[in-house]
Amino acid sequence: AGSRGRRQVTVELRMMRHATLALVAFALCFAAAAAGGEASVAEAREAGLAALEKPLEKMRVKELLHLLRERGVKCEDCKGAEKSHLVEKVRGAIHLPKLPPPEEEKPSGGGKDESMEDILAKLKGMPGMDNIKVFGRDDIEKMKQNDFKDL
């Protein structure tokens, strides 16, 4: 199947983190809706709309997309969509809690290689990840010099 690049593994881990945060937000909203019913959701929507600096209709598309992103709402059909579609999407999601900002990848004392080792250690035990090999830029350069005979 080939090896995955470091960037691919990092992107997949970030996606898993975001999916987990979105799932937690969904669970919290579901629990709140079950506890308080539809009235509390409507009240939360009104409170969310009232807390905004300006009405949704006066916001730019970029601002509307930001409101969706910070609440973990995925909008596959938002690219190129009419602004009115985005306004309705935000209006339906404004009651959701804001997710904490994603953690930035901070290199530890050993730099990129050490953080990659940490990532690979976390992946061990996952199905299909037993014999994964990751090659760095230096490894690939060495293989190029040997016409990839070391594979």
Q: Token match 């059909």: residue?
A: 77
DSSP 51-81: HSSS-GGGS-HHHHHHHHHTTT---TT-TT-
Q: Token match 């061990």: residue?
A: 124
Per-residue pLDDT of the chain (151 residues; tens, 9 = 90+): 445 577 777 777 777 877 777 777 777 766 665 655 556 788 888 888 888 899 999 999 999 999 998 888 888 888 888 899 999 999 999 988 888 877 655 555 545 556 766 776 776 666 666 666 767 788 888 888 887 765 5
Confidence at residue 57, expressed as pLDDT on a 0 to 100 scale: 94
Confidence at residue 113, expressed as pLDDT on a 0 to 100 scale: 54
